[in-house]
Amino acid sequence: MEEIICLLGLLIMIVGLIGSFVPIIPGPFISFLGILLIDSFTSLPISSYAIVMLGALMAIAMAGDYILQIVGVKKLGGGKKAIRGTLIGTLLGMFIPPIGILLGAIIGAFIGAKMEQGSNRQSLKIALGAFFGFMLGTGVKLIYSAYVLYIFTELLLKAYF
């Protein structure tokens, strides 16, 4: 039975890894659920400290995904309207998965920046900041999900080999 749970946990973590790229799937959260499943229903030795730290890192990765878009917009000169445009575009983009979240943030940042700046060139630069923030957030989620999968693989290899 433990092998089935390990296999299910592995599949959940793979879905979490895929979710790092697909905006509609909360990858780090799903990866964390996979490691929680392993911890709760197998004899693999995962410390409570590791679970708490992975939970905290998951929360940071999930929040960072959105915060990094805003930071990208701000760093390239975007103001309040560009930030609001990014957030509104991201929310509206959720209704057109998976590409809608990315395009929504970029278009929202562009429109907000255009309302503030008036310049197409500057607005495009700010929208590019939203894109870079999105890519950085995706990278953070990918690293987290890959790390959880690595921890599981290491535990599995130590326990059975």
Q: What is the pLDDT of residue 1?
A: 87
Q: How many domains, the chain?
A: 1
Q: Block means of pLDDT (10 residues each) for the chain, length 161 residues?
A: 93 95 87 96 92 96 89 91 90 83 89 88 92 92 96 90 82
- Residue-wise pLDDT for 86-110, tens only, equals 889 988 988 887 788 779 889 999 9
3-state secondary structure string, the chain? CHHHHHHHHHHHHHHHHHHCCCCCCCHHHHHHHHHHHHHHHCCCCCCHHHHHHHHHHHHHHHHHHHHHHHHHHHHCCCCHHHHHHHHHHHHHHCCCCCHHHHHHHHHHHHHHHHHHHCCHHHHHHHHHHHHHHHHHHHHHHHHHHHHHHHHHHHHHHHHHC
The residue range of the domain holding 105 is: 2-160
* Mean pLDDT (the chain, rounded): 91
